A and B are shown apart, each in its own frame.
Chain A
Amino acid sequence: QVQLVQSGAEVKKPGSSVKVSCKASGGTFSSYTISWVRQAPGQGLEWMGRIIPILGIANYAQKFQGRVTITADKSTSTAYMELSSLRSEDTAVYYCARGNGSGWFYFDYWGQGTLVTVSS
């Protein structure tokens, strides 16, 4: 059974960076993509970007371009999302989600979510 297990909650200061991990088990890590989706309190889902682990290629939503970096370590089947220059509006639950091969744009497995709180 596929599982995505994310790192724990974080509290960060404005202007700092956060790096969230997402470890996959079950399935073949290199045969699918990992996207990151965030959800601010009481708000909707927002796609941030994705990575193709086998190629190490990532692309990002225009809104986050220049501020987000998504990477993957094939040896540990772990994806990472780093968001810099944090502001209070970045307070949200961050999810990783698996896109299945050629159907990368729909997400069949999700991590449990990581709450990132940005506060001075």
Chain B
Amino acid sequence: QSALTQPPSVSGSPGQSVTISCTGTSSDVGSYNRVSWYQQPPGTAPKLMIYEVSNRPSGVPDRFSGSKSGNTASLTISGLQAEDEADYYCSSYTSSSRVVFGGGTKLTVL
């Protein structure tokens, strides 16, 4: 199972919006609404930000939103804040009943 494809890095200024893409295949992202997104600041464990494509756990700001079209899922962060600077990972359930992660995207807040 190959990793999902994410851009290595994205950046934006405070207050702007950024979108991180996550491209898989018809065996994972394209076939299931089981995409999740995690935020990982340096030296910390990942934190769940979005599950099942577009659902936010309690406590996650509504500035974070998720969507999916075909084999590509996206995480959008609006009203960018300095505290959003971190690595972001997508993951998906697969047709072999496993989980695959993306390679990660480093978000820089300028």
CB distance from B35 to the nearest CB of A (A): 9
CB distance from B37 to the nearest CB of A (A): 9
B17-58 contacts to A (CB < 8 Å): 34, 36, 38, 40, 45-48, 51-52, 57
Q: Which A-chain residue is minimally distant from B58 (CB atoms)?
A: A108
Does A14 have its Cβ within 8 Å of any Cβ on chain B? no
- Docked pose: A48 CA to B108 CA in angstroms: 29
Q: Classify chain A: how many residues form its interface, as a range.
A: 20 to 34
A107 partner residues in chain B, CB cutoff 8 A: 36, 38, 46, 48
**Chain A positions 32 through 65: 1 when the CB is less than 8 Å from some CB of chain B, otherwise 0:** 0001010000001111001000000001011000
Give the interface of B toward A (CB within 8 A).
Answer: 1, 3, 34, 36, 38, 40, 45-48, 51-52, 57, 89, 91-93, 96-104
